[in-house]
């Protein structure tokens, strides 16, 4: 039965490839977290799988943290190999490489030790594939791998590298570029790369979160997480609709929503009450530590501790010195930062911090993994493997801080399919929960491979990118005769 199934898929694959680049192909998982960035699949995903168990294929793709996107029989991802950055197209039915194209980079951006210069996930509209590399900018290819346009962007001013993925919104491609100085978000014509609008975000510092399009009541809002503030922009022209204050000083997870509520989680060190990082008064500190009396601070002039450990964050322009303005800017961020999962009501205008908050939770917060809305509930996972679920309307905790028995950090965002929620740790431990009001583990799988990328599910098959390999798993059943 397994052989018959695979041969059937491959015969379908040959037919699909015969029309490559001549017809639009239905995007099945078009961008980071799938259709509408909701992290929810049509159909179901496997429950029993693992190495040599219900495994369709496993291929080496090289290092990278980007998630795949899928159109028809084609799968796209980015990778970092041989000191170059590649966009790769695979046959999703057997994992074989169809084409790869190198980005025209001159120098690779610096990244976090757990990061990669191939972290942003590609996006596809079924006719083109779009990629963003912090080391170069945006690139668009047709389904044969021919470059259609390019949009060079200076590398981000942040030592951890870029992470936010491009998203498709109708005829536009949207990219956020938050960094320690010179932050902005812009929308391009996806056909030719021309800028439709651009909005500067000077008050924002580094952020690694992918934006989200919230559709409700016939309205489309672009929701962009950032340092201290969560902001909404009119998708059509980029004008600001509203802002919500009190988020963490670094945004890592992306929002999600129901038709009636927006959900956003943010956590970072120093934002919890009782564990807040504070900075000394500048005038007193500079007087005691400015050894060469030049009115600035170097790393060696600062006392050991949490502020010195974040010297590169305080030093906005990366010139090796901290000035009074940079010091006071960071002190204000530490003071205003707030860690929470928040639910916001729609139709806001201006500052909605005190008017549109429906509920919030300050316990068991995710760091990088985005929250997921599914079946009228909001699910989160905290590093260490602690899962929580909330009634999306009231915010009542259905369960909180429940152990998944899968320790580790959670960089991949959870995804859902057919009444199941899939969580995956950086150690490659997958936990499948029932999407219910009580914690119930349906199954656990150990891939025995590091996983940072968010998986995707298409046509009952789950695709998981590990440290250097991409794998496809599907449970088999006899056809109805």
360 CB-contact burial (10 Å; exposed 0-12 / middle 13-18 / buried 19+): middle
Distances (CA, A) of 397 to 342, 383, 391, 394, 406: 13, 18, 7, 9, 21
**Per-residue pLDDT reduced to its tens digit, 429-439:** 999 999 999 99
For residue 460, the SS3 value is coil
Distances (CA, A) of 190 to 26, 94, 133, 472: 17, 29, 16, 30
For residue 373, the SS3 value is strand
pLDDT, average across residues 354-371: 97
**Per-residue pLDDT reduced to its tens digit, 285-309:** 999 999 999 999 999 999 999 999 9
* Residues in CB range of 83: below 8 A, 6 or more apart: 108
Counting Cα atoms < 13 Å in the Cβ hemisphere of 38 gives 18
Q: What is the reported pLDDT for 23?
A: 61
pLDDT, average across residues 181-201: 97
For residue 299, the SS3 value is helix
Instruction: Decide: 348 and 234 in contact? Cβ < 8 Å.
Output: no
pLDDT, average across residues 38-44: 93
pLDDT, average across residues 175-183: 96
Confidence of residue 335 (pLDDT cuts 50, 70, 90): confident
Write down the CATH superfamily of domain 2-273+337-473.
YVTN repeat-like/Quinoprotein amine dehydrogenase (2.130.10.10)
Q: What is the mean pLDDT of the chain?
A: 92
Is 323's pLDDT higher than 50?
yes
The third-level CATH classification (topology) of the domain covering 282-334 is Recoverin; domain 1 (1.10.238)
Sign of CA dihedral 162, 35, 433, 74: negative
65 CB-contact burial (10 Å; exposed 0-12 / middle 13-18 / buried 19+): buried
CA–CA dist 140, 34 (Å, integer): 19
Is 89's pLDDT higher than 90?
yes
pLDDT, average across residues 122-135: 98
Is 3's pLDDT higher than 50?
no
Confidence of residue 181 (pLDDT cuts 50, 70, 90): very high
Alpha helices for 322-425 (secondary structure H): 324-336
Is 4's pLDDT higher than 80?
no
Q: What is the reported pLDDT for 269?
A: 87
Q: What is the reported pLDDT for 15?
A: 43
Confidence of residue 170 (pLDDT cuts 50, 70, 90): very high
pLDDT, average across residues 191-213: 96
Least trusted range by pLDDT, from 5-19, 72-86, 270-284: 5-19
pLDDT, average across residues 385-395: 98
Least trusted range by pLDDT, from 107-121, 232-246, 467-481: 467-481
Judge if pTM exceeds 0.75. Answer: yes
CA end-to-end span of the chain, whole Å? Answer: 13
pLDDT, average across residues 379-399: 98
Would you give the DSSP letter of residue 211?
P
Confidence of residue 480 (pLDDT cuts 50, 70, 90): very low
Instruction: Decide: 417 and 40 in contact? Cβ < 8 Å.
Output: yes
Confidence of residue 448 (pLDDT cuts 50, 70, 90): very high
Q: What is the reported pLDDT for 187?
A: 98
Instruction: Decide: 183 and 205 in contact? Cβ < 8 Å.
Output: yes
Per domain, the residue ranges of the chain are: 2-273+337-473, 282-334
Higher pLDDT among residues 481 and 111, named by residue: 111
> What are φ and ψ of residue 470, in 5° steps?
-120, 130
Distances (CA, A) of 384 to 12, 381, 398, 404, 424: 42, 9, 19, 9, 11
Would you give the DSSP letter of residue 368?
S
Task: DSSP for 431-445, please give it.
Answer: EEEESSSS--EEEEE
Confidence of residue 477 (pLDDT cuts 50, 70, 90): low
Sign of CA dihedral 73, 166, 340, 429: positive
**Per-residue pLDDT reduced to its tens digit, 226-273:** 999 999 999 999 999 999 999 999 999 999 999 899 999 999 988 888
Of all residues in the chain, the percent with pLDDT exceeding 70 is 94
Please state the length of the chain: 481
For residue 195, the SS3 value is strand
Q: What is the reported pLDDT for 105?
A: 95
Instruction: Decide: 239 and 347 in contact? Cβ < 8 Å.
Output: no
Q: What is the reported pLDDT for 270?
A: 81
Is 51's pLDDT higher than 90?
no
């Amino acid at each position: 039965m397994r052989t018959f199934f695979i041969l059937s898929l491959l015969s379908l694959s040959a037919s699909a490839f015969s029309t490559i680049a001549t017809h639009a192909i239905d995007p099945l998982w078009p961008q980071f977290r799938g259709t509408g960035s909701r992290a929810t699949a049509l159909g179901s995903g496997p429950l029993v799988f693992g190495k040599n168990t219900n495994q369709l294929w496993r291929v080496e793709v090289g290092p990278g943290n980007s998630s795949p996107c899928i159109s028809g029989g084609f799968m796209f991802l980015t990778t970092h190999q041989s000191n170059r950055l590649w966009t790769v197209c695979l046959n999703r039915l057997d994992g074989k490489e169809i084409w790869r194209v190198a980005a025209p980079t001159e120098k690779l951006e610096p990244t976090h030790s757990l990061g990669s210069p191939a972290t942003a996930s590609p996006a596809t509209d079924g006719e083109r594939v779009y990629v963003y590399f912090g080391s170069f900018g945006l690139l668009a290819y047709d389904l044969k791998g021919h470059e259609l346009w390019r949009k060079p962007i200076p590398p981000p001013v942040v030592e951890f590298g870029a992470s936010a993925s491009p998203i498709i919104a109708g005829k536009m491609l949207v990219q956020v570029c938050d960094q320690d100085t010179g932050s902005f978000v812009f929308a391009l014509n996806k056909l030719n790369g021309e800028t439709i609008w651009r909005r500067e975000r000077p008050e924002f510092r580094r952020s690694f979160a992918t934006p989200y399009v919230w559709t409700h009541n016939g309205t489309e809002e672009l929701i962009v997480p950032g340092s201290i503030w969560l902001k909404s922009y009119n998708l059509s022209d980029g004008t600001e609709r509203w802002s919500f204050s009190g988020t963490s000083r670094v945004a890592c997870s992306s929002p999600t929503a129901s038709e009636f509520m927006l959900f956003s989680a943010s956590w970072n060190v120093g934002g919890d009450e009782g564990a807040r990082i504070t900075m000394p008064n500048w005038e007193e500190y500079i007087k005691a530590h400015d050894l060469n009396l030049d009115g600035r601070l170097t790393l060696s002039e600062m006392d050991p501790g949490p502020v010195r450990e974040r010297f590169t964050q305080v030093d906005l322009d990366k010139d090796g010195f901290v000035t009074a303005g940079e010091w006071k800017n960071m002190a204000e961020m530490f003071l205003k930062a707030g860690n929470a999962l928040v639910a916001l009501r729609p139709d806001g205008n201006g500052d909605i911090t005190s008017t549109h908050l429906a509920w919030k939770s300050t316990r068991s917060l995710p760091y990088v993994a985005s929250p997921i809305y599914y079946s009228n509930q909001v699910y989160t996972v905290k590093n260490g493997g602690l899962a929580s679920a909330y009634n999306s309307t009231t915010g009542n905790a259905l369960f909180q801080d429940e152990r998944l028995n899968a320790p580790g950090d959670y960089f991949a965002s959870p995804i859902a399919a057919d009444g199941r929620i899939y969580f995956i740790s950086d150690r490659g431990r997958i936990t499948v929960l029932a999407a219910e009001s009580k914690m119930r583990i349906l199954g656990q799988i150990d891939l025995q491979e590091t996983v940072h990328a968010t998986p995707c599910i298409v046509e009952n098959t789950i695709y998981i990118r590990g440290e250097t390999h991409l794998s496809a798993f599907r449970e088999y059943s006899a056809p109805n005769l």
